[in-house]
Amino acid sequence: MNSSIEKILFSEDEIREKVKQIGKKISEDYKDKDLVLVGILKGSVVFLSDLMRTIDINCKIAFLTAKSYGNSTMSSGKVELEDTLKTSLGEEITGKDIILVEDILDTAATLYAVREKIKELNPASIKICAFIERNIKRNVDLTPDYKCFDIQDGFIVGYGLDYAQNYRNLPYVGILKREIYTKIN
Ligand code: IMP
Ligand code: MG
């Protein structure tokens, strides 16, 4: 185990099993649809690349960039989206059945902002697939349609999730030792 990790929360085997279940469900639900998985960079890349290989119907992928954390472990509440979204993604989204794929749904500020922007591109439908949902009370009305795991507290990393851009490559999800982020912040 990586020395910055206090405890493994979800192992590689557990993750593989859950992702497979979600992929199967999506394959059934979108059988006659025009599915596009839209990954929110960078955190969703590991999840999305595993998830798409468990989906056995036709699907496309697209990506967009959204940032809210910077180098902190607290959500800033402000969400930055690329302003080229319309020109870069318009054709890939209009009239299609979109699933937004996110690493973790926390305050949901990021996905709320992304969903509003995506709506402007007139997709046929939009749903949300989060690898992890943090169970907190939210100010925005948004819950995932598909998810693999729930957590409560603790800052987690691995399987795409980062702290200051590190630890995304860990194949499991673990709780980051507190001393790692109190040292820098
Ligand atoms: P939200 O907008 O508050 O829902 O924040 C979502 C984003 O915050 C995610 O896409 C992650 O990039 C980041 N995030 C939230 N909680 C964690 C965590 O425990 N570890 C790493 N990143 C997190
Ligand atoms: Mg992040």
pLDDT > 70: percent of the chain: 89
Does 73 fall in a domain? yes
Query: What's the rounded Cα separation, in Å, for the pair 19 and 90?
Result: 28
Cβ-in-10-Å burial (0-12, 13-18, 19+) of 167 comes to: buried
Whether 35 is covered by a domain: the verdict is yes
Is ligand 1 within 6 A of the CB of residue 44? no
Q: Cβ of 165: how many Cβ atoms within 10 Å?
A: 8
> Residue 181: inside a domain, yes or no?
no
Confidence of residue 3 (pLDDT cuts 50, 70, 90): very high
CATH assignment of the domain containing 54: 3.40.50.2020
Structural domain boundaries enclosing 71: 12-151
pLDDT tens-digit series, residues 74-98: 665 666 677 667 677 778 999 999 9
Residue 69 confidence (pLDDT):
56
pLDDT of amino acid 96:
97
- The predicted model scores a pTM of 0.92
**Quick check: 176 pLDDT over 70?**
yes
Flag whether 2 is in a domain: no
For the cut 90, the answer to whether the pLDDT of residue 130 exceeds it is yes
How many A from CA of 105 to the centre of ligand 1?
6
Reference 37, options 70, 71, 62, 16; nearest CA is 62
Identify whether 157 is part of a domain.
Answer: no
The finding on whether 63 has its CB within 6 A of some atom of ligand 1 is no
116 belongs to a structural domain: yes
Total domains, the chain: 1
